[in-house]
Amino acid sequence: MTDVDVLSSRMKSRLHLQTKTIGAERIKKAKDNNEDIAVLSMFLPNASAVEENRSFYCSLGDYCRLGDPRATKAGTKKMEYKTRQWHENCFCCCVCKMAIGTKSFIPREQEIYCAGCYEEKFATRCIKCNKVITSGGVTYKNEPWHRECFTCTHCNITLAGQRFTSRDEKPYCAECFGELFAKRCTSCVKPITGIGGTRFISFEERHWHHDCFVCASCKASLVGRGFITDGPDILCPDCAKQKLM
């Protein structure tokens, strides 16, 4: 499992793109520096901006809402973003067709989206609830989850940042996995999960936790040593000899 901010590089970094009404000097600076902002300005009378107005062509082309992509009526407003231009009302979301105005927008592959439509179409969605993940989440088996949605299949405790394992492609907390599926220690009868590097010993059909694998008589650890079985018990060689005497 990996903690990730799933939208930090896809969406949030672009939500600062807003239209701004600014002075002529600032507009020139924005254009010269190819800044990532949309500029809202006004068409000036032809006498004072004849060349600028003559070069204007609305990016909607034949779909221009004014009916003429070259219309430059003094006093109306235009929008400029990067090297493209629009009439103010033509600078709209390509999905819902609502004018952007001074709201946030996201450019993608030559199209302009309002924040809502972009989120609906492109944002990462939680595999469990299908709602948009807006800030942070976890990935499990290459699928995105809200942190609060990534829970144990059995008890529903959140697993984000916790030890867990899976069975049949479903996640379980360590406690539930042990209770439901794990082998049990012959000595203490508690689950042997193996999670987190837990060591255990198996012999024939029996299993022990590393710390539970001890002589039934003297309680000395039998890990790495020889041992003798005596019915349900295991004994160290010395205790086995004494029992036979």
Identify whether residues 156 and 233 lie together within a single domain: no
Identify whether 81 is part of a domain.
yes
**Within a domain: 171:** yes
Please state, in angstroms and rounded to a whole number, the distance separating the CA atoms of residues 127 and 142.
10
Cα distances (angstroms) measured from residue 191 to each of 141, 158, 214, 222, 233: 26, 21, 17, 20, 19
Indicate the pairing of strand 200-203 with strand 206-209. Answer: antiparallel
How many whole angstroms separate alpha carbon 160 and alpha carbon 172? Answer: 12
Q: Do 98 and 29 lie in a common domain?
A: yes
- Residues 154, 234: one domain? no
Q: Which domain CATH number covers 214? A: 2.10.110.10
User: Does residue 140 form part of some domain?
Assistant: yes
In 88-232, beta strands by DSSP E: 105-108, 111-114, 137-140, 143-145, 164-167, 170-173, 183-184, 191-192, 200-203, 206-209, 228-230
- pLDDT value for 12: 40
For residue 12, tell me if it sits in a domain. no
Q: Which residues on adjacent β-strands are paired with residue 137?
A: 4
> Which pLDDT score is estimated for 156?
92
**pLDDT at residue 18, as a whole number:** 47
What pLDDT, on the 0 to 100 scale, is given for residue 97? 92
Cα 188 from Cα 200, distance rounded (Å): 13
Contact partners, residue 221, CB within 8 Å, separation at least 6: 211, 213, 214
- In which residue ranges of the chain is pLDDT below 50? 1-22
**Structural domain ending residue among the three candidates 150, 177, 204:** 177
| Residue 47 maps to a domain | yes
| pTM check: above 0.85 | no
Confidence (pLDDT) at 141: 86
Return the pLDDT at 21.
Answer: 45
Q: Are residues 27 and 104 in the same domain?
A: yes
DSSP label at 36? S
Tell me the residue range of the domain where 56 lies.
22-112
* Residue 16 included in any domain: no
Share above pLDDT 90 across residues of the chain, in percent, rounded to a whole number: 24
Pairing status of strand 228-230 against strand 233-235: antiparallel
Work out how many domains the chain is built from and give that number: 3
Q: Is residue 88 part of a domain?
A: yes
